[in-house]
Structure 1
Amino acid sequence: MNTRRNFNSLRAPRMSDAFPQAVIADNLIFISGTPGIDHTTGQIISSDFEQQVRQSFSNIKAILEDAGSDMSKVIKTTIFMVAGNDFAVINKVYVEFFPKNAPARSTPQVMPFPAGILVSIECIAQI
């Protein structure tokens, strides 16, 4: 790895000052866990699981675009969802954001997140 830098977009929520939204290393971008928070209000978009999943991917899309990448360059996603939610919803939204050549994916179920967060998505993409 020759270069490494932290990256933050103004078009997506930043979860903490303790870590960046993403790290760019050479030609890869590693996006931190990104929940379904509206960046303009700083609040969860809705208590609806599907809306949170869609907002999480919209936030990731904004980070990628601002970093010089896009959704077609995503190689791997990890979707942490609160146990009891529906994989069919994840699959439905996944196809919307990755209509062709979907990236590899892991979807572990986790204990509840704070503040009503039902999903947090991280990914690795090419720049």
Structure 2
Amino acid sequence: MSNRSVIKTDRAPAAIGPYSQAIKAGSTVYLSGQIPLDPATMELVGGGMDAQVRRVFDNLSAVCDAAGGALHDIVKLNIFLTDLSHFNLVNEIMKEYFQEPYPARAAIGVAALPKGAEVEMDAVMDIA
């Protein structure tokens, strides 16, 4: 018998491919990458990079909540940026969403992201 379950919420964008928003396995939740899509319209948010980063954190937060956790339960966060000059902006906004101890993290420069997004994040959450 599997201890895995699919996590799904309408408060975050629906999957745009053959994947789940998150999978819970025991007390660990693996959150799929979130880009700055508005869950109601499934379109990228306007307002520049600041708005995109905030929408991604809001989307991750919604999936965390649906899994029975919160952003502070994230133990590993991966950030993908099409322009690493936004690294400091991401750090400043992240401080608004997280408190110490911060999750382990990687920030990776990539050539392109789905739907022309400039930022994507995925995470691992522990809700033990």
Which of the five TM-score ranges fits, normalised by the shorter chain? over 0.9
Structure-1 separation of matches of 2:50 and 2:15: 20
TM-superposed CA distance for 1:15, in Å, is: 2.8
Post-superposition CA distance 1:56-105 (Å, at most 9, x none)? 01000011111100111110100011134411111011101112211011
Check the 8 A contact 2:72/2:99 in 1, yes or no. no
Structure-2 separation of matches of 1:13 and 1:114: 13
Structure-1 separation of matches of 2:110 and 2:52: 16
TM-superposed CA distance for 1:10, in Å, is: 1.2
Structure-1 separation of matches of 2:118 and 2:47: 8
1:115 match:
115
* Greater CA drift, 8-17 or 48-57: 8-17
| Alignment map for 1:7-86 (pairs within 5 Å) | 7-46=7-46, 48-86=48-86
Q: Structure 1: any 5+ residue segments left out of the alignment?
A: none
Whichever residue aligns with residue 101 of structure 2, its letter is N
Q: Identity percentage over the alignment?
A: 27
Tell me the secondary structure at the aligned position of residue 80 of structure 2. strand
Structure 1's consecutive aligned runs of 4 or more residues displaced over 6 angstroms after TM superposition are none
Check the 8 A contact 1:36/1:119 in 2, yes or no. yes
Tell me the secondary structure at the aligned position of residue 76 of structure 2. strand
Tell me the secondary structure at the aligned position of residue 57 of structure 2. helix
Check the 8 A contact 1:83/1:112 in 2, yes or no. no
Q: Structure 2: any 5+ residue segments left out of the alignment?
A: none
> TM-score, structure 2 length as denominator?
0.91
> TM-score, structure 1 length as denominator?
0.92
Number of residues paired by the alignment? 127
| RMSD (CA atoms) | 1.7
Tell me the secondary structure at the aligned position of residue 108 of structure 1. strand
